[in-house]
């Protein structure tokens, strides 16, 4: 499991990237436009996602997570 200072989590799409001061300090944004954070709570969320938790209450997210990978974050639903 990851420790603080190893990874950052996009606050919008939940994509995981390697920690950098620029990412953690909101100087480098995610491809989706979201800000990264590498605080203890975000590391806990990353570890929970890796462990397979998908319930919003367990994760502390606004909604349940259906499909997620570290590299891609949450899958966007295609517009019909």
pLDDT tops 50 at residue 78: no
Determine if the pTM surpasses 0.85.
yes
Residues with Cβ within 8 Å of residue 46, at least 6 apart in sequence:
2, 7, 9, 16, 70
- Is the model's pLDDT at 77 over the cut of 60? no
Distance CA 23, CA 56 (A): 24
> β-strand 16-18 against 7-10: which pairing, if any?
antiparallel
pLDDT score at 76: 56
pLDDT digits (tens, 9 = 90+) for 11-70: 999 999 999 999 989 899 999 999 999 999 999 999 999 999 999 999 988 999 999 999
CA distance 35 to 39: 12
**Cα dihedral angle (58, 65, 68, 70), rounded to 10 degrees?**
-40
């Amino acid at each position: 499991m990851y420790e603080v200072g190893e990874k950052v989590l996009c606050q919008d799409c939940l994509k995981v990237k390697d920690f950098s001061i620029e990412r953690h300090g909101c100087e480098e944004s995610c491809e989706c436009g979201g800000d990264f954070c590498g605080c203890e709570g975000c590391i806990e969320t990353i570890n929970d996602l890796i462990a397979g938790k998908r319930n919003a209450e367990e994760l502390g997210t606004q909604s349940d997570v259906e499909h997620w990978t570290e590299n891609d974050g949450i899958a966007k639903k295609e517009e019909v």
